[in-house]
Amino acid sequence: RMVGISLKLQKRLASKVLKCGKRKVWLDPNESQEISMANSRQDIRKLVKDGFIIRKPVVIHSRARVRKNKEAKRRGNHTGFGKRKGAHNARNNTKDMWRRRMRVLRRLLKRYRDNGKIDKHLYRELYAKAKGNSFKNKTVLIEYIHKAK
């Protein structure tokens, strides 16, 4: 049975010289005798130049599958009950929805008031109605304004 030479020191030095981890260092098994003689960074650099020590390439971690799945999710696949972890409110917070809707409606009302499309009395009335949940969305509010005129 063959007893290999310990190249622990050489591997450590090589990893420092090559600026990578020890697992990325390849020592030529046919030149282990030559490599074992090297005990300084200078020697290691020479061996690297000669090609006895090589830095292995980075292992590819492809995201192609992830991208494909994300694209399918955008189309609405893989979103059934079995795929859901969070509660309904955790996934789509009602308070956040309310906040978003209020900001949209109030922004529209301000714009209409500043442009003179509605007077300040109608503005106040509609502002209160919006707060009271009278308008489901922007379109409904715009229709209401047209009717009110």
Q: Contact at 8 Å (CB) between 109 and 125? A: no
pLDDT tens readout for residues 95-147: 999 999 999 999 999 999 999 999 999 999 999 999 999 999 999 999 999 99
pTM over 0.95: no
CA distance 138 to 144: 10
Q: Which residues neighbour 13 within 8 Å (Cβ) at sequence distance 6 or greater?
A: 38, 40, 41, 44
- Is 60's pLDDT higher than 60? yes
Model confidence band, residue 2 (pLDDT cutoffs 50, 70, 90) = low
SS3 content of the chain, % helix, strand, coil (to 5): 65, 5, 30
Model confidence band, residue 23 (pLDDT cutoffs 50, 70, 90) = very high
CA distance 47 to 38: 8
CA distance 104 to 139: 11
CA distance 89 to 148: 35
